[in-house]
Amino acid sequence: MAGKKILMMMTGSIAAYKACHMISRLVQAGHQVQVAASPSALQFVGNATLEGLSGRPVVSDLWERERAMDHIHLIREADLILVAPGTAHFINRIAGGIGDDLLTTLFLAHDFKKPFLIAPAMNTTMYLHPVTQASLKKIKDMGLRILETASGVLACGETGFGKLLDPDLILQEVLEALGTEPATTARPVTTASSLSPIKVLITSGGTKEPLDDVRVLTNSSTGRSGAELSNQLSDLGFDVTLLRAKEAVIPTSADVVQKTYVTHSDLKELLQTEIQKGSYSHVIHMAAVSDYQVDKVLLDGQETKASKVPSGRQMTIQMKPAEKILPLLKTWTTQPLKVAAFKLTSHASSEERRQAMSKLFPAADVVISNDLSEISEGKHPYLAKTSAAETPLAGLSELSAWFSNWILNKETL
């Protein structure tokens, strides 16, 4: 299927973040997506994310130097125009023939010879307002395709109509309008086959090594970053499976598939099973895996295998190095697999950090380093290193955007 040119217009709704998912899926399916965002839309989603996902500069300003004719060219070049999310403000303005900014002028340059879809998103009262309903009817009568809205809990706390239609259903409508997907009456909730997403496997949380049946040796990893990264990559349209420690933070996105582990051996086994399926293209290995395992427990110098080691005695725990999981990951599949590893250091110099990171290549294609001395409440910078470049990242959102670009093979922002 040849890639199509899609002009994606975004306006200033709280649902703007859902457009990222759509852009990502369309790009993954081989289409070219040109984003035209209203200044209000850019209050909700940043330029870097939209450009990173679409791979092209976002246009927003009618008066931008050297791009004066965008308002004609972009609509002429497009095979399809999608407005998602469409605000009440935008819908009412185009219905009135207003053309005082880039997006409304693009609409005035539309010749009605190609599909033009609008996915409204707004509060129920705004949606049911007579002005909005009249505008929707007017532009529908002109030949625009107005997508349904979903009902549910809105960002304002009310429940009712006006919620942006499920992004996967919008994508289904887009593909049908492009003629790349047969029309369906029963709309699948799952993603269209031609938009089959990239599968990413993430590990998070810390392993536990048992001393006896009730005591464990573990580390302080909470799994919070892994859960949040899973949410963000899932929102961006990737198909995410998270292998998390049993008590680690749980991702909020219902789309993230989760499996849990306790020990080093459990995690190794889970990773092997998942990777052997051969369907993952990327593994982001964030879990804090124990470097040591309990070899023997001695009480007063005598080895004990008690299911609960008695108290009040001199206990010696003998540890042995645990097998390194990272070098095994790529050996478990014959499919191309990209691996990201994490290296946490404590009060290391830049040189020490660099050396620690270097050791993880070539088992990893990218190493993300973070140092305890730089982490505090609300602050967690990272350094991403590939064979080509080092990129400092201010926090988790930047890390997610970087990973999204890495997965889509566009890691230099």
Ligand X SMILES: Cc1cc2nc3c(=O)[nH]c(=O)nc-3n(C[C@H](O)[C@H](O)[C@H](O)COP(=O)(O)O)c2cc1C
Hey, how many other C-beta atoms are within 10 angstroms of the C-beta on 295? Answer: 11
The region of 36-44, 51-59, 144-152, 318-326 touching ligand X under the rule CB under 6 A is 36-44
| Interface stretch with ligand X, choices 37-45, 171-179, 233-241, 375-383 (CB under 6 A) | 37-45
Which one, 85 or 223, has the nearer CB to ligand X?
85
Burial of 127 from C-beta contacts in 10 A (0-12 / 13-18 / 19+) = buried
**Rounded CA Rg of the chain:** 26
**Min separation Cβ 392 and ligand X, Å:** 30
Residues paired with 297 in a beta bridge:
317
- The answer to the question of residue 122 lying near ligand X (CB under 6 A) is yes
Q: Say whether 156 is catalytic.
A: yes
Structure tokens at 169: 């259903």
Nearest to 31 by CA among 39, 19, 23: 23
Q: Which is nearer to ligand X, 88 or 200 (CB)?
A: 88
Rounded-to-integer distance, Cα 393 and Cα 377, Å: 16
Q: Which residues, 6 or more positions from 150, have their beta carbon under 8 angstroms from its beta carbon?
A: 161, 163, 164, 165, 166
- Which residue number, 62 or 270, has a Cβ lying nearer to ligand X? 62
3-class DSSP assignment, residue 107: helix
Give the DSSP per-residue string, 320-379.
EEPPPSGGGGGGG-SS--EEEEEEEESS--HHHHHHHHHTTTTT-SEEEEEEGGG-BTTB
Single out the residue of 50, 126, 165, 326 in contact with ligand X (rule: CB under 6 A): 126
Which residue reads 């499996």 in tokens? 259
Stretch that binds ligand X, among 13-21, 246-254, 316-324, 375-383 (CB under 6 A): 13-21
- Who contacts 193 (Cβ-Cβ below 8 Å, separation ≥6)? none
Q: Which two tokens stand for residue 4?
A: 């199509």
The CB-of-35 to ligand X minimum distance in angstroms stands at: 13
Q: Which class for 348: exposed (0-12), middle (13-18), buried (19 or more C-beta within 10 A)?
A: middle
Residue with Cβ nearer ligand X (70 or 411) = 70
Q: Which of 3, 14, 67, 98: binder of ligand X (CB under 6 A)?
A: 14
Among 32, 40, 222, 281, binds ligand X (CB under 6 A): 40
Closer to ligand X at the Cβ: 35 or 360? 35
Q: What residues from 63 to 102 belong to the interface with ligand X (CB under 6 A)?
A: 87-90
For residues 173-212, which are near ligand X according to CB under 6 A?
Answer: none
Which stretch, 23-31, 33-41, 355-363, 389-397, contacts ligand X (CB under 6 A)? Answer: 33-41
Q: How far is the CB of 367 from ligand X (least distance, A)?
A: 38
Least distance to ligand X from the beta carbon of 294, Å?
A: 52
Least distance from C-beta 164 to ligand X, angstroms?
8
Candidate list 15, 22, 59, 401; residue touching ligand X; CB under 6 A? 15
CB closer to ligand X out of 121 and 198: 121
Query: Residue 404 in 3-state DSSP?
Result: helix
Q: Which of residues 52 and 85 has its CB atom nearest to ligand X in the complex?
A: 85
What is the nearest approach in angstroms of ligand X to the Cβ of residue 40?
3
Give the number of other CB atoms < 10 A from CB of residue 298: 15
* Total number of residues shown for the chain: 413
Catalytic residue among 156, 298, 315, 396: 156
Position among 4, 12, 106, 116 found at the interface with ligand X (CB under 6 A)? 12
Spatial distance between the Cα atoms of 91 and 114, rounded to a whole number of angstroms: 19
Query: Residues touching ligand X: how many (CB under 6 A)?
Result: 15
d(CA 107, CA 112): 10
What are the residues binding ligand X (CB under 6 A)? 11-15, 38, 40-41, 87-90, 121-122, 126
- Active-site residue list: 156
